[in-house]
Chains A and B, each alone.
Chain A
């Protein structure tokens, strides 16, 4: 199962529709929507948190949250 946490730095994916319920409302409000393109920009030196870019928002989220958000990897 691919999640945001399984992306490599620079890799992109699309947030899958089925993960809607596992996205916290706050993240949803910040543009982390199902169907949106998400890129992993950077990983913090201690492997956590993750720095992502989604829908034009640059956000840092914890690995724990990221590993619950399923994605479809882009080719």
Chain B
């Protein structure tokens, strides 16, 4: 897996619905437009929830990695 550059990392492990989406929506606003946030979650629902959130909030998931019960999202702030 390539190492992706990111401006901020959010540890969302052990947080169930709706907290991962609530926290990423706040966290993404803490970086500049064009920058990337890495979010690590253990919520299986996040795999479908994060793309849905990104689509409606106008952000872009540039990469999704799954490893050892964790899902890592790299999300670019678009606006």
Genuine A/B complex: no
**Interface set of A (CB-CB < 8 Å, partner B):** none
Which residues of B line the A interface, CB within 8 A? none
